[in-house]
Amino acid sequence: MTYILNIETATHICSVALSNNGETIDIEESFEDRTHAELLSVFIEKILKRNKLSTKDISAIAVSEGPGSYTGLRIGLSVAKGLCYGLKIPLIFIPTLEAMANGANKSIDDNYMLCPMIDARRMEVYTALYNSKLEKDVDIHAKIIDSDSFKSNLENNKIVFFGTGSEKCKDSIISSNAIFLDNSFVSAQYMSDLSYSRFMNKKFEDIAYSEPFYLKEFQAIKSTKKFF
């Protein structure tokens, strides 16, 4: 049995899934914003206890690589690295958008293109374009959405748009080939089969030097409030 803890903290959602041989067997997640630091370790402890396992039973830790929230990604990776280092087990990265596409793909019967979107403020999103085999047709990038976005792709393909950034794009992406999937979010459960495949192929990350895929540099927002 290959137990893997899958950690997803790339957006406001804090999610931990326990998988066995690529199948999700338990999950804990919260949709409350800014609770990653508070809940992540608690979720891991609860899942292990509920399944009568200890950390010594875990074969690897998989963590959402990004892009996404700078703070969320840092928290997820810090916990994952600490566990991997202490337990001497491998660290696995799962691209956030690939996991999102994997989740949407499981609920779609047709051979559509998949376009996961993570909100990146205003009309910008982090996105990519995948086929039903989860092969990238368009690489991961930050994109400002307007009426011409995905125009050439939509001419010959039906594309399913989903994720935290897709809702604000409905009025801009107008095409009979554009399909918007509501209530589709990131979740650690969509990492399970991906992390198991990487584990079997020994696609591991350097525990000491690996970093999240931020895509864009962190930008601190200066407060306009006057405190004195």
Q: Which residues contact 193 (CB under 8 A, 6 or more apart)?
A: 19, 22, 23, 102
**Distance, CA of 70 to CA of 200 (rounded, Å):** 29
- Helices 96-105 & 192-200, crossing angle to 10 degrees? 120
Q: Which CATH superfamily is domain 108-181 in?
A: ATPase, nucleotide binding domain (3.30.420.40)
Per DSSP, the three-state class of 68 is coil
Domain regions of the chain by residue span: 3-96+186-200, 108-181
Q: Do 3-96+186-200 and 108-181 share a fold?
A: yes
pLDDT (tens digit per residue) in 140-191: 999 999 999 999 999 999 999 999 999 999 999 999 999 999 888 899 999 9
Query: What CATH architecture does domain 3-96+186-200 belong to?
Result: 2-Layer Sandwich (3.30)
DSSP 209: T
Cβ atoms within 10 Å of 171's Cβ, excluding its own: 9
Q: Residue 183: its pLDDT value, please?
A: 85
